[in-house]
Amino acid sequence: MELYTIHAGSFKLDGGAMFGVVPKSMWNKLNTADDNNMCSWAMRCLLVKDGNRLILIDNGMGDKQDAKFFGHYYLHGDDTLDKSLAKHGFKRDDITDVFLTHLHFDHCGGSIQWNKDRTGYEPAFKNATYWSHPAHWDWATNPNAREKASFLKENILPIKESGHLKMIEGDGSTQMPFKIFTCKGHTESMMLPVISYKGHTIVYCADLFPSRWHIAMPYIMAYDVRPLDSMKDKEAIFSQFPAEKTILYFEHDPSAECGSLIKTDRGSIALDKTFPLTEL
């Protein structure tokens, strides 16, 4: 198995929304906000090469929304999904599987693109099977009022209409070359890939630990629909996977790709150090 970091760009979100109940006087020292209280965040995907399969985990926002939509999120930087794939010698048509941790727009927006004459939509990865969780798919296609703005039908419904959609069963181990840890705090049935790689357990964190700063229990995003369950999801990760062998891969951290963990003298789990995936 080979793993490749794939950057789909950077964007901005409100710092208060990203850090929840943690006071700005604390979080602003970690990820400094601009004059509009917006902080910069990555859209860091992961490419898994396993035998003949090339599995892309999440795919960023895409580019099919209008200028008004993107104006809310201040896209910046030079990274794009295509440039990042090309850096490693791949292109979109090489992707065999697109694994979607969940269907919020910043994780699945790149799944679907305009067709050539912009009269409709088509899969952005034409040779790929797209994978979702059945309970999450139902949740996203019948959205609640709180999350509705994050579930954009043009990102989601064309996947099924194209015939490319399949659902993950159980822990995913019969369908993927990794197991899946399912969370319910951030949104219903968000899937975290748990990958055995070079003697380590790598957890692709999606929005459970969007950054290194969210390892601490009280650091829960205001976006989470069940924040107390997010804390339980964190605790479950720490109880199931020994800190000294577990690596967290951060989807949204603006600069840290991976983080190793330590168990403190008080028994809590804390960040040890950060490093790029290539150091493993």
Structure confidence at residue 270 (pLDDT): 95
Q: Answer yes or no: is pLDDT of 15 > 90.
A: yes
What gap in Å lies between CA 127 and CA 53, rounded to an integer?
11
Give me the residue label for tokens 């993950």. 168
- Tell me the pLDDT band of 8, cut-offs 50, 70 and 90: very high
What does the buried/exposed string (b/e) look like for 139-162 if buried means 16 or more CB atoms within 10 Å of the residue's CB?
bbeebeeebeebbbeebbebbeee
Q: Model confidence over 182-230: pLDDT tens digits?
A: 999 999 999 999 999 999 999 999 999 999 999 999 999 999 999 999 9
What gap in Å lies between CA 40 and CA 75, rounded to an integer?
9
The answer to whether the CB of 221 falls within 8 A of the CB of 18 is yes
Q: Answer yes or no: is pLDDT of 242 > 90.
A: no
What gap in Å lies between CA 18 and CA 16, rounded to an integer?
5
- Tell me the pLDDT band of 279, cut-offs 50, 70 and 90: very high
- Tell me the pLDDT band of 243, cut-offs 50, 70 and 90: confident
Structure confidence at residue 267 (pLDDT): 84
Handedness of CA 237, 238, 242, 247 (dihedral sign): positive
Name the residue among 180, 50, 43 with its Cα closest to residue 104: 43
**77: how many CB neighbours lie within 10 A of its CB?**
13
- Tell me the pLDDT band of 39, cut-offs 50, 70 and 90: very high
Reply yes or no on domain 2-279 having CATH 3.60.15.10: yes
Looking at residues 144-157, what average pLDDT do you find?
96
**116: how many CB neighbours lie within 10 A of its CB?**
8
Tokens standing for residue 237: 């990760």
Q: Model confidence over 44-67: pLDDT tens digits?
A: 999 999 999 999 999 999 999 999
Residue 36 half-sphere exposure toward CB, CA atoms < 13 A: 9
